[in-house]
Amino acid sequence: MTSLPLAGHPSGRAQAIDPSLDLEDEIARLKKERNAIVLAHYYQDGDIQDVADVVGDSLQLAQAAAKTKADVICFAGVHFMAETAKILNPHKAVVLPDLTAGCSLADGCPPDAFAAWIQKHTVNGEKPIVVSYINCSAEVKALSDYIVTSSNAEKIVAQIPEGKKILFAPDKNLGAFIEKKLGRKMEMWQGSCIVHETFSEKKLVQLKERHPGAPILAHPECEPVVLKMADYIGSTTGILKTALARPEKEIIVVTEAGILHALEKAAAEAGIEKTFIPAPPMASCACNECPHMKKNTLEKVYLALRDMQPEITMPAELMTRALAPIEKMLALS
């Protein structure tokens, strides 16, 4: 038996995992035994994506959580994603392999400051329409009128009647992208993603010089200077579909590096020969990898299913308030 140090495991002690165990087999056995599913985001390590029942973008994973018949959801993603799955399934157990897997966007939008911001923009008792990116806490969701993801934000904001004041939080880059697309002014919370803001315009220009025929596919969490260079801007699933559909052999991908596993796998399955080139971050670091997403490991997925923890819990009243804007999003998507 070896002891693996597993920071963030609720037991607070290193967990002993028998090294002779085949973790993939064990996860498959536990899924069956517990009637559990594993939902994984594209930014998870490849070995986690490979044991998942659904791999997708934030919207697809919320939709999968909303319709699952499983009794247990193991959410291989970050905290706000697992929280959303729990809000949609208050009577099911939702486990997150590492409870400390957060998100710079969610962490940069504290509910008290968010409530004060809404109050500041409420004039003569007229409350603005509050649109929040799904990358936020349950408390922030509960204060919002609509929840959106990178794949439906444009469609949902477009349905808000003209003349209504809109507050958009917490990602200023996604907000600016929507604002530009719709020609609609919004008040923006000044949050950003620590991963997507590290992509450098200068390095992207140099990369494009070396691969002039390769289109640039970028996530809307990137800064406007980077998005200006993109041939396509969309969610992780949008990037994946576009990358496969484009005729070019070489594709430049400007998002978290975990998506390369899904891209390569999908291209191989479709029998398409492609080279995916990850956009370089500013410094020579691995900062195109999300440190929060990467806290989850296959070992922690196994332990979460075995021990049924760390489990997501919230007050029932908070879940009820946060559910309304999520349900609106699902209905409008």
Which residues would be at the binding site for ligand 13P (CB under 6 A)? 57-58, 103, 135, 149-150, 193, 219, 221, 235-236
* Contact call for residues 93 and 73 (beta carbons, < 8 A): yes
Shortest CB 25 distance to ligand 13P, Å = 29
d(CA 235, CA 177) in angstroms, rounded, equals 12
d(CA 103, CA 319) in angstroms, rounded, equals 20
Binding part of the chain for ligand SF4, among 3-11, 138-146, 290-298, 322-330 by CB under 6 A, reads 290-298
d(CA 290, CA 227) in angstroms, rounded, equals 19
Q: Examine residue 218 and tell whether it contacts ligand SF4 (CB under 6 A).
A: no
By rule CB under 6 A, what string of x and - marks binding of each residue 293-322 to ligand SF4? x-----------------------------
Residue 131 binds which of ligand SF4, ligand 13P, none (CB < 5-8 A, kind-dependent):
none
Complete DSSP assignment for 8-21: T-TT-SPEEE-TTS
Q: Examine residue 79 and tell whether it contacts ligand SF4 (CB under 6 A).
A: no
Residue 150 binds which of ligand SF4, ligand 13P, none (CB < 5-8 A, kind-dependent):
ligand 13P
Shortest CB 183 distance to ligand SF4, Å = 26
Q: Which of 68, 84, 132, 135 is in the footprint of ligand SF4 by CB under 6 A?
A: 135
Residue 236 binds which of ligand 13P, ligand SF4, none (CB < 5-8 A, kind-dependent):
ligand 13P
- What are 130's strand-pairing partners? 167
What distance separates the 2 farthest-apart alpha carbons in the chain?
67
Q: Examine residue 98 and tell whether it contacts ligand SF4 (CB under 6 A).
A: no
Shortest CB 236 distance to ligand 13P, Å = 4
Structure-token pair, residue 209: 């010089």
Shortest CB 203 distance to ligand 13P, Å = 20
d(CA 134, CA 153) in angstroms, rounded, equals 10
Residues whose CB is less than 8 angstroms from the CB of residue 204 and which lie 6 or more positions away in sequence, other chains included:
216, 226, 229, 252, 254, 279, 280
CA 244 to chain centre: 21
Shortest CB 107 distance to ligand 13P, Å = 12
* Contact call for residues 258 and 227 (beta carbons, < 8 A): no
Cα 121 to Cα 42, 94, 102, 107, 191: the distances in Å are: 36, 36, 28, 22, 18
Q: Which of 40, 62, 290, 298 is in the footprint of ligand SF4 by CB under 6 A?
A: 290
Q: Examine residue 141 and tell whether it contacts ligand SF4 (CB under 6 A).
A: no
Residue 58 binds which of ligand SF4, ligand 13P, none (CB < 5-8 A, kind-dependent):
ligand 13P
Q: Which residues bind ligand SF4 (CB under 6 A)?
A: 43, 78, 103-105, 135, 193-195, 221, 256, 290, 292-293
